[in-house]
Structure formats: C-alpha cells, structure tokens
Structure 1
Amino acid sequence: MSIEVSNITKLYKDQKALNNVSFKVNDAQIVGFLGPNGAGKSTMMKILTTFINASEGDAKVNGYDVVSNKKAVQQSVGYLPEHNPLYTELFVKEYLAFNANVYGVPKSRIQEVIELTGLSPEAHKKIGQLSKGYRQRVGLANALLHNPEVLILDEPTTGLDPNQLVEIRSLIKSIGKEKTIFLSTHIMQEVEAMCDRVIIINKGEIVADKYLKDLREGQEQVVVVEFDYRVEDAFLTKLPKVKAVKNPNGFIYEITFSTKEDMRSHVFDFAHDNDLKILQLNQKNASLESLFRELTS
C-alpha cells in the first residue's frame, strides 16, 4: 500500500481544515484528489509530505509513519508543491546538481531525469528563462531525482497554456505507469485525462471515492459541439435521447444524452442535414461533472 490515511483531522485554531479523513492508495495508481478551492487538498498533501503534522489521526507513505519516520517518508516521496519553488538564477543542470547532492544520488541521475521529463532542449538555459511549462518539468525532474516510489503533485497544471497542459498530462501519465501518483486539482478535466481514480473532498471531508472506469459506465454523456452558426436549442432537443441542451457561449453547445452510446455521429448527421459546419466535437464525462457539482455545491 503506497498511501494509508486514517482518521486525519487538522485544526488551524478554531478552523477544521480536515475532518476525520481516511483513504488508501494502492501501488502504481494515478489518483486525483479533487475539490474546490479551500477544500483541504493542499493541507492533506503537506501532511503526507511531512511539512506539517495532523492534529489527530495517522498517515503512512510506503509503510512509513509521517510523524515517527519523517526522513524515510521524505526519501521515498517526490513532491511538487503548488507554487513550484525554483532558484531562477540557476541553470537547469546546476539546480538539479545541487539537489542531487542534497539527496546523495549519483550525478548520472541528472541526465536521466532530464531525458525522462523532456527537458533536453532547454537544459542549457537558466530556469528564469524557461516557460511555465518547462519550469513545471524542472520541478518534476527534481521530484524524480531520488527515484521515489510515490509522487505527490499539488496542482501540477495550474497556469499552463493548452499546449503545455497536453505535454504535462502526457508526462504524468507516462511516469504513472511505474510509480504511484497522488495529485490534487480542482479541474475535473485533469482527472479525466490522467487518473485511474478520483477522491473528492469538500469542506475538509471525503465525499466520494470512485474509479473513473465506473463513472464512465454511467448511462449519461455530454457532447460538446461548436457550429459555425447559431442554432436554436429547440432544434437540438429533437436529437435522439437528449436530456438537456446548454449554450455556454457563442456557437458552442453542451448536449446531455441519457445513454452511454456515443452520440457524436448523431450530432454530425444533424450538422450535415442542416448545412452546418462543425468546428469542434468532443465528448466529456457527464457523470464526474454531475457528481462533483452535486457533492460540492
């Protein structure tokens, strides 16, 4: 068992940031820790990485207690905090060499993590010259230097542009094939794109713990389509098995169908029959979105 959390409570004076939280994470899983801002995600991660102690309860990482075996936990965990702390005046290799010395790992490991995280094209630069996406790669490379069994990532994709998002998601999924990854986010699309399982926390309490494959087997889906022209909602409701239609902005429509059958072909046929061009056509997991809204609203 990579992570074991039992009845963890954390108090900040009179405020209860975590309230009797318990969960377990198996080896080689990518688990999304999902919740709105202020739900307690970062507090939980700081406890798991030994930065702070819980007020009550117990937690273990790789079998080591986070209070009585802090050093062992630190040696077996790679941590990327929400605000990635980097020495921007150092070169990439210089920064990693400094941390390799701290961890006591061979210098050969530096080139290994540079290649693993796709940093090679920028490795000759100072960190301050890098884009936000490459700075995140430096943070991941640093977290991987000592080859930890568990990676704990706090909001790893915050502030990235769409291209950087795709790159970091792909990198995390690749690393997750061999290591346990526990990542926090408040963005449901991140969980859907990367994770095997989702734990939802709200106001310091676990309100759901689900495997994504189980959620995807739900009898509901949302198709997001963008046409080149405005369409009246009433026309879209005539599509088979339509449950609801929303027009969040412009010519973009979110169509909820009461079936797990892929309905994108029906939307495509609708566009063809009505001389409309489709600018984008995507499917998203309605079950996860619905669950999140229901449990955190």
Structure 2
Amino acid sequence: MSALLSIQKLTKRFGPFTAVDGLDFEVGRGEVLGFLGPNGAGKSTTMKMISGFLAPSAGTAVVAGHDVCKAPQAVKAAIGYLPEGAPAYPDMTPLSFLSFVARIRGLPDGDVGDAVERVIAQTRLSNVVLQPIETLSKGYKRRVGLAQALVHDPEVLILDEPTDGLDPNQKHEVRNLIMSMAAEKCIVVSTHILEEVDAVCSRAMIIARGRVLADGTPEELKARSGAASLDDYFREVTGHA
C-alpha cells in the first residue's frame, strides 16, 4: 500500500495558541481514515493545511509526492476537498457551477461534460441541476459540494463532515459512494458521527488539542480498552461526552 498522504511534524499556531501540534501520520491508497476529535481539536485546521488553504507554522504535508509548502498548486491538483460549509456561487445552478469547477481544475473542454455528468450521477443531483444553488436544501447543497470535490477524479479526497445536513437515505448513499471509491484513492473523512467511522472507515485517528491520542482500525481501538463501542472509547480517551 503506497502512501499518498504524508504528514510531517505539521503545526499551526495562531498567536500564542497552538491549534495543531506536530502531527505525524501517513495515509495510503485504499485507506479511508476517519479523523475524529472534539470541537477545537484541530481537525479542520489540519485539513485546511493539507489542502493548501492555510500555511503551516512548521512541518509540512506531502500529497501524491508534492510538498504543500513547495508545490502548493500541484497539491491542489491532486486533492478533492470538501470543506466545512462548502461555499458555492448561490446564483449558479449545480450544472453551471460544476462545469465551471471542471474548467478551473484544468479539464479539457471535451472532457468537461462527461466529468460533470459522472459526478451528478454519483451524488444524485439530477433532479436539481437547473435550480439556483441558493434555492436548494442544505442536503442538496452538501451534495453539490461533494460533487465539486470529485469532478477532476482526484487521487486524494479530504472530506470535512461529508454527510452534514443529509437525511438518513442520503447519508447511506454518500457512505456507499465513499466505499465504492476507497480502493483507488486515499480518503480522509473528518466527522463527529462515530457510526460513520464504523460504516466506512478502515482506520480511525482521534486527536485532541492538536495531538494524536489514538490510531488504529475501529476494532483495534475498541479492543484496547474493552470498550463496547467506538463512542465509548472516544469518550474514554478524550474525556468528552
């Protein structure tokens, strides 16, 4: 299993506050890493540094062989990123927005239509492709955000709360989509929904105060303390209910 994502002493400080404190880990092709932690643990800050939206204070991330500090454009090209909130142009339709993103991502004009059609089908957006994004429900807006992360078929996916705002059926569809892509990609899923980790993740990492507290398969983490569930283990190691 080759590492597509390598985090090396990654650190982020905001004045005197250290949000991410020297993280070290690798994620390989075929892995789905569940990135867990209480609010303020440093999850979103880590994802923003990996994807090039925030500059590290120290350390670096290497994505598909590219250093985020030395080759930020190459890193962005290799990543599909679904940020928290996933802002989009509200007056555009999903169809026009995804076509725009595909072109910005550098897809040749002849490939844009097929790429957009593919992600519309993957994310079940066909019923709303011609509606302005501002008129869509939170769940559909989230699916538009997921579609834009997939449109260039990246090797590395960084997904921050991918099922936020989705109803149970939509959550099930997105989880199936993640699992269907897992073998060929490196996927990092930040989530507070622990059942999601059990459902789609081959590995779970728990962080708090910017540091790794635990790392292993969901089954390994539960077995370490005899916890009945991942939820119990999470509360045990973080001290959070």
Q: TM-score normalized by structure 1?
A: 0.74
CA contact (8 A) 1:80 1:152 kept: yes
The structure whose RCO (Cα within 8 Å, separation 6+) is larger is 2
AA at the equivalent of 1:289: D
Find the aligned partners of 1:213 and 1:123 in 2 and give their Cα distance. 40
1:83 maps to what in 2? 85
AA at the equivalent of 1:47: M
Of the three residues 153, 161, 166, the one matched with 1:160 is: 166
Find the aligned partners of 2:59 and 2:53 in 1 and give their Cα distance. 16
1:293 maps to what in 2? 235
1:199-239: per-residue Cα shift (whole Å, max 9, x none)? 10011110000112434667957xxxxxxxxxxxxxxxxxx
Alignment of 1:269-280 (within 5 A): none
2:148 maps to what in 1? 142
Find the aligned partners of 1:216 and 1:21 in 2 and give their Cα distance. 23
1:114 maps to what in 2? 120
Unaligned segments of structure 1, at least 5 residues? 222-285
1:131-181: per-residue Cα shift (whole Å, max 9, x none)? 222222211111111111000011112233333322322222223233211
Q: Does 1:177 align with 2:119?
A: no
Of the three residues 133, 136, 147, the one matched with 1:130 is: 136
CA contact (8 A) 1:215 1:287 kept: no
AA at the equivalent of 1:16: T
AA at the equivalent of 1:172: I
Find the aligned partners of 2:174 and 2:137 in 1 and give their Cα distance. 13
Q: Does 1:66 align with 2:8?
A: no
Of the three residues 7, 18, 21, the one matched with 2:20 is: 18
AA at the equivalent of 1:202: A
Find the aligned partners of 1:25 and 1:132 in 2 and give their Cα distance. 30
1:43-79: per-residue Cα shift (whole Å, max 9, x none)? 1001100111111112111111011010110000000
- Rate the CA distance shift 1:29–1:287 in 2: closer, same or farther, 3 A: same
Find the aligned partners of 1:129 and 1:52 in 2 and give their Cα distance. 30
Considering fraction of residues, name the structure with more strand: 1
How many corresponding residue pairs? 233
CA contact (8 A) 2:5 2:186 kept: no
AA at the equivalent of 1:42: S
Q: Report the identity percentage.
A: 45
CA contact (8 A) 1:133 1:168 kept: no
Find the aligned partners of 1:82 and 1:140 in 2 and give their Cα distance. 11
- Rate the CA distance shift 1:5–1:91 in 2: closer, same or farther, 3 A: same
1:3 maps to what in 2? 5
How far off is 1:98 after superposition? Answer: 1.1
CA contact (8 A) 2:35 2:205 kept: yes
1:230-285: per-residue Cα shift (whole Å, max 9, x none)? xxxxxxxxxxxxxxxxxxxxxxxxxxxxxxxxxxxxxxxxxxxxxxxxxxxxxxxx
Unaligned segments of structure 2, at least 5 residues? none
CA contact (8 A) 1:196 1:213 kept: no
AA at the equivalent of 1:46: K
Q: TM-score normalized by structure 2?
A: 0.90
